[in-house]
Structure 1
Amino acid sequence: MKKLVSMALALSLCLAMFAGCGGTPSSSSTVSSGPSSSSEDTSTSGFENKELNIAIFEGGYGPEYWEEIVDRFEETYGVTVNMQISPTIGDIIRPQIVAGNVPDFISMNDNDTTGLISSMIRENALLDITDVFEGPGLEDTSPLKEQVLEGVLNTAKCSPYSDGKVYLAPFNASPMGLVYNKTLFEENGWELPETWDEFFALGDKAKEKGIALFTYAGIHPGYMESLLWPAIASAAGIDTTTDISNYVEGSFSSPEVMEVLANIQKIAADGYLMEGTVALNHTQSQTDMMMNKALFIPNGNWMEGEMKDAPRADGFEFGMTTAPSLNAGDQRYVMTSVEQFSIPAGAKNPELAKEFLRFLYTEESVKLFAEKAGGIYALKNATEWSKDYVTEGVYSMNDVYNMGDSMVFGFAALPEGSKVTPRDEVFQSVADVMNGAMTPEQWAEKVEASFTEVSNMAK
């Protein structure tokens, strides 16, 4: 049986408290608990009696999937898995890594606020796992790279050095956009806005009913990426977001980008932001939105599971739309969140970790993740495999892909020794913009200055 690090032990390791989020069981259907035939074939492959140490971020998807999939892997391969799982896993394992106790496998959320993964990328501390994706899956013998969603592996999310090699493996794929209450819109006869002008016009109608147009997780401004990057891609083109992700000077201050930044400022400056937003965390702002205090909140389809026990307006029904475009008919985009798996370069059991990764990409694992967590893996077949397990709300929010093209955004690796983090400059400025302490021009100047510093470091 696996050795699951308890809350008490984690406390003694890191002297920090943490709390978990529940999972989202979404169907009475049950995924078979037996190993697949292809997995049975690998049980005699020389891994028996080995130990695998894994570190898992526990977010809105909860722990149930991980507990079950680890049990199945242990049973199939005859190994022991020592799992640490926590909402603050980055803070927990950082001192362990410094002390030389490196996990064999890490699963980290898309917006790692601890900076652990970005630090490991900067220090070249992740293992090259290209061979896993060049090789076959455990069930489908085609190369794994052909089974992953198109356009994911070659982004900075998985290939941070732009060298054609994979260092981070995709986990789930979740649409991100503006979450809203379908019922509220139906009751008022409101149409979803496509352009910024329509967005603010709808905000004027909402004001008449005492409802704000917009809120966000004020003290976690990274959630604003659900709005910012798709809006920039629509206004300035997807190539501009690629340039931004590679710190190209001038990319964050083009005229089209400046229009987007000005519209974001207008949300607060013209009274469309829910009062008190800047001081709220993600669950507080999400709850207020679900109580019809605001029409929209930037988020992903995991919000339903994360807030499954939260109060909400009568008849609340999850919906999602895209970020607004500057002009009618402009291409709109849907930000896709891709959380990641990685194997540290210092892992003691890298081959077993690679086998665990392959095991996670099996149909059995994908269905279990849908059933226990309500999420969908970043595999081409995952949506079909998951349809009987995910909730109506998750499926409803996935309809946003009918409104715009999917895009994945991730900043490229920073030069070793870099003392600036452009992503922080982008999102830590949001509160100042919303409070009126910073203009869009100053926001852009701050980000551009960080790009210049990165360019100078890279020379």
Structure 2
Amino acid sequence: MSSEISRRHLLSRAAALAVLAGPAAGLLSACAGGGGGPATGPVTGAKSATNPLGVAADAPLDVVIFNGGLGEDYAKYDESLYSKAFPNAKVSHTATQKISDLLQPRFANGNPPDMVNDSGDGQISPGTLVNNNALTDLAPLLDAPSIDDPNTKVRDTLLPGSLDIGTYNGKVFILNYNYTVYGLWYNAKLFRDKGWQPPKTWAEFKELAPKIKAAGIAPFVHAGKYPYYIGVPITDWVAKLGGQKLSVDIDNLVPGAWRNDAVTAALEATLELVHNGWVLAGSEGMSHTESQQAFLDGKAAFIPVGSWFENEMRKTIPPGTELTVIPMPSLTDHDALPYGAVRAEASEPFVVPSKAHNVNGGLEFLRIMLSKDAAKKYAELTSSLSIVKGSADSVTTSTALTSANKIATAAGDNIIHFRSFIDWYKPLRSEWEAANGELMAGRFTAKQWIDKVQAASDKIAADKSVAKYHRDK
């Protein structure tokens, strides 16, 4: 259950911006209407070189963590680091899978925790929190010196694009701590035993696929029940072939952006998987965990998924499996982005409520989380990357984590990301996913896919009742 909740959250951040109604809206009506903060007001302390955020040394710190697929042990470790820095401060730890149920009354009463991991299906809509001035601007944290180097700002220790998701109208209100890397996964041990080389180009993939099939293994499997997953290779190819400008145009709802030739080429390549019989039979009806288990059982050679893969499937990974992720193969020899370009983005949101009693303590807790010590422990405990540069460089116990770290580092600034059909406009996402499903079922041509998604984009653009968002790069 914990893993499933975490999974669905990572794949449905539409709530962050597109869904601003529901229980959270009600809870914040009191907050926005001046429901009143804590009776004693926020506490502060004297700033110093070792206490740049001015934390009151003896002020209690109230931490609430979403206990999902990532667990809570990493947070407990961070709390121990906070207690070491402020031994006179009592740190309270609460872990829950029902963030909204637990915190609605506290936000409404003006007495929220000092630091919240606002995640899971019970997440309080970040967009609602931001729009109701319920969150603290994280600029003081980001401009503070890092714990590891007093000459380096915290913001300069983070991976590219880490702050994009949590930025609203130029201000960062949400720190997404987990760094998810997407790509094409394979079992390095299987490939080594078979003498196969992972492909860097689509031509190499098409040459390898018949050999894989001849060995009694399907070249490819995907989660047909959740068409988001097949959207990973499709949109990676769109960005790689069409370049970052095309990604920006798509997100900014530029008329005709989806009709670019790069989109057609990406869809035609995807259809080759279907028409050549390279997709594992039954994929259309598989959930994410079912498709991942089929891959782990050796029924398929490749699967598109994010770097949560190992942590989510840890209990059923066969001994000796060497989970390894690579970038999507280049479609042509003239792609706008190099082979090493990967889709990566920050997820797992952390916030400091603006009416918290110990706002500075909440910010300091996040500063501790962004230290090398805390980031390394996070990688060790969750087999996941954090947004801290080099967080997993010395963690070698996981081929999955090592390979994700390797390709994210190698990508540099060639990071692929989309917003419009991921978390900005829920109706557009629904149409995009539906088109993906029809394509993989063989019921859509590339043109039909494009017509459906472009029409959905145009409808959003023309609807004056929908708040629009803009991306510069």
TM-score above 0.5, yes or no = yes
Number of the residue aligned with 1:348: 356
Amino acid at match of 1:143: K
Between 1:419-428 and 1:331-340, the stretch displaced more is: 419-428
Structure 1 residues without counterparts, runs of 5 or longer:
1-17, 24-37
Match of 1:167 among 151, 163, 173: 173
CA distance in 2, matches of 1:39, 1:366: 22
Whether 1:79 and 2:90 are equivalent positions in the alignment is yes
CA distance in 1, matches of 2:103, 2:231: 26
Contact 1:39 1:76 in 2 (8 A): no
Seen in structure 2, the aligned counterparts of structure 1 residues 283 and 148 have a Cα distance that, compared at 3 Å, is: same
Contact 1:245 1:412 in 2 (8 A): yes
Provide TM-score, normalisation by structure 2. Answer: 0.75
CA distance in 1, matches of 2:51, 2:366: 16
Number of the residue aligned with 1:359: 368
Match of 2:226 among 188, 200, 220: 220
CA distance in 1, matches of 2:320, 2:216: 19
Displacement of 1:361: 1.0
Deviation sequence 1:270-305 (CA, Å, 0-9, x none):
322111122222222111101211111112333223
Contact 1:321 1:403 in 2 (8 A): no
Residues 247-258 of structure 1: pairs in structure 2 closer than 5 A: 247-258=253-264
Displacement of 1:442: 2.9
Contact 2:64 2:116 in 1 (8 A): yes
Whether 1:407 and 2:399 are equivalent positions in the alignment is no
CA distance in 2, matches of 1:367, 1:94: 30
Whether 1:48 and 2:58 are equivalent positions in the alignment is yes
Output the aligned Cα RMSD.
Answer: 3.6
CA distance in 2, matches of 1:250, 1:134: 40
Whether 1:129 and 2:134 are equivalent positions in the alignment is no
| 3-state SS, counterpart of residue 152 of structure 1 | coil
Residues 274-353 of structure 1: pairs in structure 2 closer than 5 A: 274-312=280-318, 315-328=320-333, 330=335, 331-332=338-339, 333-343=341-351, 347-349=355-357, 350-353=359-362
Match of 2:238 among 232, 252, 269: 232
Q: How many residues align?
A: 413
Amino acid at match of 1:373: T
Number of the residue aligned with 1:6: none
Deviation sequence 1:6-40 (CA, Å, 0-9, x none):
xxxxxxxxxxxx4458x9xxxxxxxxxxxxxx998
Seen in structure 2, the aligned counterparts of structure 1 residues 184 and 409 have a Cα distance that, compared at 3 Å, is: same
| 3-state SS, counterpart of residue 150 of structure 1 | coil
CA distance in 2, matches of 1:174, 1:325: 21
Displacement of 1:268: 2.5
Contact 1:178 1:321 in 2 (8 A): yes
| 3-state SS, counterpart of residue 213 of structure 1 | strand
Displacement of 1:143: 1.6
Seen in structure 2, the aligned counterparts of structure 1 residues 442 and 70 have a Cα distance that, compared at 3 Å, is: farther
Displacement of 1:390: 4.6
Seen in structure 2, the aligned counterparts of structure 1 residues 187 and 402 have a Cα distance that, compared at 3 Å, is: farther
Residues 138-287 of structure 1: pairs in structure 2 closer than 5 A: 138-141=147-150, 142-153=152-163, 155=164, 157-161=165-169, 163=170, 165-287=171-293
CA distance in 2, matches of 1:219, 1:388: 34
Q: Percent identity?
A: 23
Number of the residue aligned with 1:26: none
Deviation sequence 1:200-234 (CA, Å, 0-9, x none):
33222222222112112333333335423321111
CA distance in 2, matches of 1:436, 1:115: 36
Structure 2 residues without counterparts, runs of 5 or longer:
7-47, 469-473
Displacement of 1:365: 1.0
Deviation sequence 1:127-150 (CA, Å, 0-9, x none):
432232122223422221111123
Seen in structure 2, the aligned counterparts of structure 1 residues 266 and 149 have a Cα distance that, compared at 3 Å, is: same
